[in-house]
Amino acid sequence: MSIVPLQIKSLAQGQPDVVIRFTESHGFEGVESDEVVDIVSLVLRDVEGENLEILFNERQFWSFGEGRVVKTRLGNAEGDFCMFPFTFEGQEFTSCTKAGRKDGLLWCATTDNYDRDRLYGYCPQEGLFTTGGNAEGKPCVFPFTYGARTYNICTTDGRSDQERWCATTDNYNTDLKYGFCPNSVLTTVGGNSGKSPCFFPFNFLGRSYNACTSAGRFDGKLWCSTTADYENDQKWGFCTSSGISLLLTAVHAFGHVLGLPHNTDPTSIMFPLYSYQRSFHLSRADINSLQAIFGIKAEEPAESPIQPEPPSDICRLSSKIDAIASLNNHTIIFVGKHYWNVSEAGQLPAGPSLVSSRWPSGPGQVQAAAEGQSQIGLLLFSGGNMWRFAGPSNESHFPEPISNLGLNLSSLRVDAALYIDSWKLLLLLDGELLWRYNMQQERMDPNAPEKIQDLFPQLPGNIDAAFEHGGYLYFVKGVRYWVFEGQVLMHEGFFISDWLGCDK
C-alpha cells in the first residue's frame, strides 16, 4: 500500500489546499456557558466547493487522548515530559502535585516511580514563568495592584481577548510589567472562569475540597472552584481528564475532506461520535469507502486486501490491555482488534484471534467487557455503545447506547466494566469514578457516580480492565493487578507474570 504524506505548513502567499484553524466561532457558538462544547471539529466548503477549511474547537481540551501532555521546566529531567501516574513516597499521583514542597510549586516525576529514579521537573505555572508580555518571562508577583484593585490570582481584567495575565512586580500601575499566565495542569475548561486553574482547597456547601468533585452535579462531571470560596465568588470550571485526541479528530476531519460521509460502524474513524482508540488504525469499512472513491491499485486486488500484521507477543502488549472477561472458565484478554485466550493462570495465552471472528455482530475493537453467565451474558463496550451476547450463537441484537442505562452517561468513557454476581450489580469505571447498575431491576444507583476508592480502598483510578474469577474481583492497570474479596484487598502483583506467564 502506497502512502502519501501530508504536508502542513504556514503559507504566506498563494492558495492552500486546506486551511486548518483553531477557533471558538464559525459554528461553535450558542453553547451554554456551563457546559463543555460537544462539537469538536467542522469541515467547511465555500460556495464554489473548492476552498476547504478544517476548524478545531479551541474550547475543547486537546491531547493525545490519554490526559494532558505536560513538558517540564527546570528540575533534573532536562525538560522531559511528566509521566502519569507516578509514585512518590509510596503514594500514586495522576497529576502534578505540591506534595513534598514548601514553596507551593507544582512538580511531577518523569518516570513512573520518583522514589526509585529521582527524576523530576516543574509543571507550567505562573509562579515559575510567564509568556509574552514585556517581562521577559519573569514569574507573576502576588498580590499585585492594577487600577484600584489588588489581585491574588491571574486575571482577564482589562483585556478584550480574555487572556489571563498578571503583573511581574507588585504594582502594575507604576511599573507596567506583565506577562501571560501559562495553562497549567489545573487549568479548567467550560464553566465561567475563563480557563482559570482550580484552587485547592475550596469551600462548597459547607465542605472543604482538596480535589475535583462531582458534588452538586447529576451528570458525574468533575469540577472545581477557581477561588478559595465558591459560596461567595461562584467561579468554577470543569476539570480536564483524558481530553480529546487531536490525532483522531484530525483523521476524522480529513476523511470528510476526502469525501467520506459519517459511518454507522462504531469502529470506523468516520463514526459521528468521538471515542478514543488507543491503538488506532483504519477499519475495513474506512478502507473500503476510500477505495470506492479513489479505486484500488493493481497490486492491491480487492479479494486479498493488505491487512496489518496481527500482534503476536502478548507479553509486549500487556501494558496496553483494553478489556478482560472471564468466559466459560477461560480468561479472554482484548487488545485492539484481537483477543487472547488464557486457559490457566500462569500459562502463555493462545492467540491472537480477531474479535470479529468470534463475535461477528459485535464491535471490531473492545473498550471494556463484563460477563455474568446466565444473568447478563457477555457485554462488550466500545465507542459509547454496548453489545450483549447470550447463548452459544454469539449473535447480538445490540448495539445500544450506554446512556440507555440511565442518568446522563453520554459523556462516560468506560475504562473497565465488571459484573459482580453476588451483588447482582454491573460496575462501570471511568477515571476515578464508578457507576453501579442493577441489571435485574434495570436501574442505576441514584447515588452514582461515586469514587472508586470509596468502594475499593487501596485501588487506584484509571483502571484498564476488571473481571471476576473464582469469586474474587480482579482489577488490572498496566502490568499490575489487585485482587479483592468483596471490598477487602487480598493481593496485588504483576499481571504479566502471574496470569500471562511473561517475565516481569
Q: What pLDDT is attached to residue 409?
A: 55
Domain spans in the chain, listed from the N-terminal domain onward: 18-62+244-294, 314-498
Name the CA dihedral angle for 439, 440, 446, 447, rounded to a multiple of 10 degrees: -60
The annotation places the binding site at 252, 256, 262, 270, 322, 324, 369, 417, 464
Q: What pLDDT is attached to residue 33?
A: 32
Q: What is the DSSP letter of 18?
A: E
Question: Hey, is 204 helix, strand or coil?
Answer: strand
Question: Hey, is 434 helix, strand or coil?
Answer: strand
Q: Calculate the alpha carbon distances from 82 to 18, 94, 113, 283, 448 in Å.
A: 34, 10, 11, 32, 31
The annotation places the binding site for Zn(2+) at 252, 256, 262, 270
How do residues 61-119 score in pLDDT, each as one tens digit? 666 655 566 778 888 888 888 887 788 988 888 777 888 888 878 888 988 889 988 99
CA distance 422 to 361: 30
- Phi then psi for residue 383, to 5 deg, are 60, 35
Q: Which helix (H) or strand (E) holds 255?
A: helix 246-257
Q: Which residues of the chain have pLDDT under 70?
A: 1-14, 23-40, 44-51, 57-69, 184-186, 194, 218-220, 240-244, 266-267, 274-280, 297-319, 345-348, 373-376, 391-398, 406-412, 503-504
The annotation places the binding site for Ca(2+) at 322, 324, 369, 417, 464
CA distance 381 to 389: 12
Q: What pLDDT is attached to residue 308?
A: 43
Topology of the domain comprising 314-498 = Hemopexin (2.110.10)
Topology of the domain comprising 18-62+244-294 = Collagenase (Catalytic Domain) (3.40.390)
C-alpha cell belonging to residue 276: 478514543
Alpha helix segments (H runs only) across 262-411 = 284-294, 314-317, 355-358
* Beta strand segments in 243-366, E: 244-245, 323-327, 330-335, 338-342, 350-354
